[in-house]
Structure 1
Amino acid sequence: MLLKDFYSVTSSTELEGEFITEVKINKDHELYKGHFPDRPVTPGVILMQLFKEEAERRSNKKLQLMTAANVKFMAVVDPNVCEKLILQSSIVLDDGHFKLKGIAKQNDSISLKISATYKSIS
């Protein structure tokens, strides 16, 4: 985990090749004191990191981002509004690389769409 104590996985399932992972965001994390004190916002790069860590859990490998061809930030993730974040993703191994497609949802609203390719570094 890149940011210690930033989130915890509360449930994780696989359904027809799609992974659904529920995480609880620590709304008292140090990150929110600077981003932003009066209205905490989860940085987009941190949301992207959640998907990388999910791909690492699923592949059981240490991964490095190679490309992020399609990243769309669609709504603010505010831990004071809802601490729960749902990550839906599919991960396939293609020519030695892990290709992920995913969406992050908060309160049934899509916050992020991502398509990314990772390479194994372990």
Structure 2
Amino acid sequence: MILQNFYELKETSFKEGKNHTRLSINKDHEIYKGHFPDRPVTPGVVLMLLFKEEAERISGKKLQMQRANNVKFMAVCDPTTDEELILETEAEEAGEYVKLKGIAKNNSGIVLKINSLYKIK
């Protein structure tokens, strides 16, 4: 995990062909002091990093992002109002790559949709 103490893995499950991971976001994390002090917002790049870490957890391999397409930020992820984040992912290994399709959502709804490709290190 690049961002130490940013989140805690609460629960993982596999249902309906997807991995479901529930994370508890640390609303007091250092990152929110600069993004933004008066209204904390989880940076988009951090949300994308969560999917890379999820792909690594699922595959059990170290990965490097090669491509992210169809990245759609749908809503703000404010840790003061939504401390939990659910990642729904479908990951498949294809040769030296892992393909991931994912959705991040909180109590307010869908925060991010992403399709990404990672090279196995």
- Give yes or no for TM over 0.5: yes
Q: How much is the aligned-residue C-alpha RMSD, in angstroms?
A: 0.8
Deviating above 4 A after TM superposition, structure 1's stretches of 4 or more consecutive aligned residues are none
Tell me the CA shift for residue 67 of structure 1. Answer: 0.4
Secondary structure of the residue that 2:45 maps to in structure 1? helix
Q: What's the CA shift string for 1:58-97, capped at 9, x where partnerless?
A: 1110000000011000000000011000000000112321
Alignment pair present for 1:79 and 2:79: yes
Q: What's the CA shift string for 1:30-58, capped at 9, x where partnerless?
A: 00000001000000000000000000001
| 1:22 match | 22
Q: What's the CA shift string for 1:92-112, capped at 9, x where partnerless?
A: 112321000000001050000
Aligned residues: 121
Sequence identity, in percent?
58
TM-score normalised by length of structure 2: 0.97
Unaligned runs of 5+ in 2: none
TM-score normalised by length of structure 1: 0.96
Unaligned runs of 5+ in 1: none
